[in-house]
């Protein structure tokens, strides 16, 4: 069974601060996806990282995939109240009977105070 | 593009009732759909993988007879919670993806169904 450890579980910060969320595993993933979810809604895809060492930027969000494709991080610069939500990392399995399944991290509840 | 519609969004019913939840891919064909369960402030737990035209694959600990999944067409999968009880109350979310390399075809999620059993 593949596991994806996501930390921290809860993050409460002031507007303008920076933050980093981590996802770590002992397993290799073919790709890793980051989602953001608001209460009562489904997760919305933010980014997919595929190549080991890859870095992707989405405005104030920076996503990194570890060289060995076992870990990833999400860094938010100058957080805003609109960034508040549940952030989920999910590793994709490419082979065997697990093809297409996602392994989700435990999630990070981010609260940005004005 | 890649819109997944889930219906109903909210259902309240009495204990013992069976409840059907629909998951539709509106603008693409989905050979594979996934059903998840989510408790408040927690991550998604995969319940089963639904493949069009074949039996669903259930995760360990998920009762097949309790959570019936049907994927009769390339755009529709249904989850039926049979004889629902209060402990089945949860947020159920489906996702869909087109067959192909996972790197190019992410899962697209519905907006979830809030199920409350009285």
The whole-number average pLDDT for the span B83-112 is: 85
**Residue that is written with structure tokens 């319940």 in the block:** B47
Are B92 and B21 in contact, with CB atoms under 8 Å apart?
yes
User: Which of these, A42, A33, A9, lies nearest to B35 by C-alpha position?
Assistant: A42
List, as ranges, residues 31-50 from A with C-beta within 8 Å of B. 31, 33, 35, 40-45, 48, 50
**Residue B97's pLDDT band (boundaries 50, 70, 90)?**
confident
Q: How many interface pairs between A and B have CB atoms less than 8 angstroms apart?
A: 65
Q: How many CA atoms lie within 13 A of B99 on its CB side?
A: 7
Q: Looking at residue B36, what is its pLDDT? A: 97
Q: Kindly state the tokens that stand for B65.
A: 């007879």
Residues of chain A with pLDDT > 90, as a percent, come to 81
- Write out pLDDT tens, residues A10-59: 999 999 999 999 999 999 988 899 999 999 999 999 999 999 999 999 99
Are B111 and B56 in contact, with CB atoms under 8 Å apart?
no
Q: Kindly state the tokens that stand for A61.
A: 């969000």
Of A41, A86, A100, the CB nearest to B111: A41
**Residue that is written with structure tokens 């087109």 in the block:** B98
User: Which of these, A101, A89, A99, A1, lies nearest to B95 by C-alpha position?
Assistant: A101
Find chain B residues with C-beta within 8 A of A86's C-beta: 41
């Amino acid at each position: 069974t593949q596991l994806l450890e996501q930390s921290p579980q809860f993050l409460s910060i002031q507007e303008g601060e920076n933050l980093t969320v981590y996802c770590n595993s002992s397993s290799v993933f073919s790709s890793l996806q980051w989602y953001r979810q608001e209460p009562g809604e489904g997760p919305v895809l933010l980014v997919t990282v595929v190549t080991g060492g890859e870095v992707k930027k989405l405005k104030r969000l920076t996503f990194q995939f570890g060289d060995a494709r076992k870990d990833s991080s999400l860094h938010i610069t100058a957080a805003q109240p609109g960034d508040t939500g549940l952030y989920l990392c999910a590793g994709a399995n490419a082979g065997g009977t697990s093809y297409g399944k996602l392994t989700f991290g435990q999630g990070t509840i981010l609260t940005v105070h004005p | 593009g890649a819109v997944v519609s889930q219906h109903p969004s909210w259902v309240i019913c009495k204990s013992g009732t069976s409840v059907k939840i629909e998951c539709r891919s509106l603008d693409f064909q989905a050979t594979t759909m996934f059903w998840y369960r989510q408790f408040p402030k927690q991550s998604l737990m995969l319940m089963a993988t639904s493949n069009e035209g074949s039996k669903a694959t259930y995760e360990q600990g998920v009762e097949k007879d309790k959570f019936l999944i049907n994927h009769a067409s390339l755009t529709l999968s249904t989850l039926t919670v049979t004889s629902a009880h209060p402990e089945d109350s949860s947020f159920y979310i489906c996702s869909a993806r087109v067959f192909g390399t996972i790197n190019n075809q992410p899962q697209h999620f519905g907006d979830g169904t809030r199920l409350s059993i009285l």
